[in-house]
Structure 1
Amino acid sequence: MFYASMFFQYAGQYMKTRLQYRADLVVELFSDLLSQAVNFIFILVVFGHTSLLNGWSRDEIIFIYGFFLVPYALFSAFFNIWDFNERYIVKGELDRILTRPIHSLFQIILERLELEGLFGAITGIAIMVYAGSRLGIELSWADPLLFLLFVAGGALIYGGVFVMLACISFWADAKTSIMPMMYNIGNYGRYPVDIYNKVIRFVLTWILPFAFVGVYPAAWFLRKEEWYVYAFLTPVMGILFFVLSVFLWNEGVKKYRGAGN
């Protein structure tokens, strides 16, 4: 309850701050929408030259892209730790964090909230509804619950991977970062993994499991029975990677010795 109370207090203060500059908020939302539209148009352009992509139709890939946007929106809203190295390690702000009686990772997540990122989930659901209606997808009573479970698993996978990357800073505090490269790799999860070669498919499934953010859970709703097992592994992989990331974080904090003088 204490952690829940802290979250809602931080979220309330964050929204008050953002609403002080409404024009800036609108521009940011429009920018995010434009970025998603560009990716959507890219899919349409690709299928302007072919009817199938390794057996996948245009509407199926659009559906996968829409699903991907939902857990990615949760990740974007709550795990903005791309500048953790420079801000908290190099500049020493982690010293301030560690003086408070609350878990350090949770504090940093609260400080770096970007709740407007949740708007991407609305866009993703709208794209899924559009593609699903064209595909004639019929939902069972359990599908909404499974959707929430898969989305939570996908968001935890993204969060776990990037928290683990941030943990590198506890052992190597140089300003260089592989975060931007990893963001680009994560985008591969928005397309069917069987269009890639076996090495990339293995990496996206078991090493950097971004395929569990998009194509694998979406396969359940597309009734791709050969991938049902992977779909139900999504929450398992999410919990596994996030628990591992928290463990590495706690070990890294023990190694932290401050920014010096």
Structure 2
Amino acid sequence: MNFTMSLFREYIANYLKTKLTYRTDFWVEVLSDLMFSAMNLIFIFIVFEHTPALGDWSEAEVVFVYGYFMIAFGVFSTFFNLWNFSERYIVKGEMDRVLTRPAHSLTQIMLENVDPPSIVGAFVGLAIMCTAWGTLDLSFDWYDPIMLIVMVLGSVLIYAGLYTTLAAISFYSDAPTGIVPLMFNIQNYGRYPVQIYNKGIRFLLTWLLPFAFVGVYPASFFLDRHRDLTMSLLTPVVGIVVAAIGLGVWNRGVRRYRGAGS
């Protein structure tokens, strides 16, 4: 752990040196992330201009869930930037370089692609969640901040496990699979209450691709009308299971990898 933390400090230091040289790029990236989040929030407001509720969910409750979704996704995007893994590390052969170093391969790839500006989205999500909290007049207990951290960590582990599994598929294929963009679109269903979907989609988002655990289920722990203690408390459990599966698939793929060749 100490070795990994020392690597993290070194990578962050190098990242900051680069961004201080090209400061405009840093702020453009932050601004683009904020605009993307704003568009999604505006879409929710537009939906509620045409309907008083989604199922039995009010506008403030849906915004609350979206705020939580942004927190978990912001933390995940900061530390698990695996979007271009296949093209960069498999197709271009950089995985060979990674495997010659003593640190775990997944740790190195995470650190090489760390994206601190994405954490801004998490703080924006927290602000949205707090605003909706006041609008809904929810009670605030001493353990709520602790539970929020636990829930967010569980959700981040779910993201990490699923996308690590998808990245590991590249070890079995010579070309990018194209599954990651599809998965990115599916994950967006997790920012809305899963109860508004039909049974098939609810099953998919709960047990097969558990994106409901990165949005509505953990967020429901803090709500009054839609509190689901069983499913919300399952979030860290599901996170550990999905992350363990992702790490197992990754390690198996690394053992199968034979290099980029000539």
TM-score higher than 0.5: yes
Instruction: State the shift of 1:249 in Å.
Output: 0.8
1:107-186 superposed matches below 5 A = 107-186=108-187
Report the Cα distance in structure 1 between the residues aligned to 2:57 and 2:20, rounded to whole angstroms.
Answer: 42
Shift of 1:27: 1.4
Aligned-residue offset at 1:225: 5.8
Identity rate, percent: 52
Q: Give the residue type in structure 2 aligned to 1:25.
A: F
Q: How big is the shift at 1:224?
A: 4.4
**Matches of 1:241 and 1:159, distance apart in 2:** 8
Matching residue of 1:191: 192
- Indicate the larger mover: 140-149 or 80-89: 80-89
Q: Following TM superposition, by how much is the alpha carbon of 1:25 offset from its aligned partner in structure 2, in angstroms?
A: 1.2
Instruction: Describe how 1:10-159 pairs up with structure 2 within 5 A.
Output: 10-159=11-160
The 1:145/1:226 distance shift into structure 2, 3 A limit, reads: closer
User: Which residue in the other structure is 1:202 paired with?
Assistant: 203
Contact 2:221/2:227 (<8 A) preserved: no
State the 1:226 CA deviation. Answer: 5.5
The aligned length equals 261
Structure-1 separation of matches of 2:43 and 2:101: 46
User: AA paired with 2:67?
Assistant: G
Gaps of 5+ in 1: none
Structure 1 CA distance for aligned equivalents of residues 95 and 53 of structure 2:
50
Q: For 2:146 and 2:156, how far apart are their aligned partners in 1?
A: 16
Structure 1 counterpart SS, 2:138: coil
- What CA distance in whole angstroms lies between the structure 1 residues aligned with 2:103 and 2:152? 27
Cα distance in 2 between the residues matched to 1:250 and 1:224: 43
Matched-pair contact (CA < 8 Å) for 2:60–2:136: yes
RMSD of the alignment, in Å? 1.0
Structure 1 residues 1-37: Cα deviation after superposition (integer angstroms, max 9, x where no partner): 1111111111121122112211111111111111111
Match for 1:33: what amino acid? L
Which deviations, in whole Å up to 9, do the C-alpha atoms of 1:164-203 show, x marking residues without a partner?
A: 0011111112233211111110110000001111111101
In the aligned structure 2, how far is the partner of 1:225 from the partner of 1:43? 19
Say if 1:181 and 1:68 are closer, same or farther in 2 by CA, change over 3 A.
Answer: same
The residue type equivalent to 1:17 in the other structure is T
Q: What residue identity is the alignment partner of 2:58? A: S
CA distance in 1, matches of 2:221, 2:251: 35
- How far apart are the structure 2 equivalents of 1:117 and 1:236? 25
CA distance in 1, matches of 2:261, 2:155: 38
How far apart in 1 are the matches of 2:260 and 2:102?
20
Distance 1:225 1:36, change over 3 A: closer
Shift of 1:87: 0.9
Instruction: Give distance in 1, aligned partners of 2:97 and 2:149.
Output: 35
User: What's the CA shift for 1:130?
Assistant: 1.1
Where in structure 1 do 4 or more consecutive aligned residues deviate above 6 Å? none
User: 2:221 corresponds to which residue?
Assistant: 220
Question: Helix, strand or coil: the match of 1:259?
Answer: coil
Alignment partners' CA distance in 1, 2:5 and 2:241: 22
Larger deviation, residues 9-18 vs 53-62: 9-18
Give the TM-score, by structure 1 length. 0.97
Amino acid in the other structure paired with 1:87: R
Secondary structure class of the residue paired with 1:52 = coil
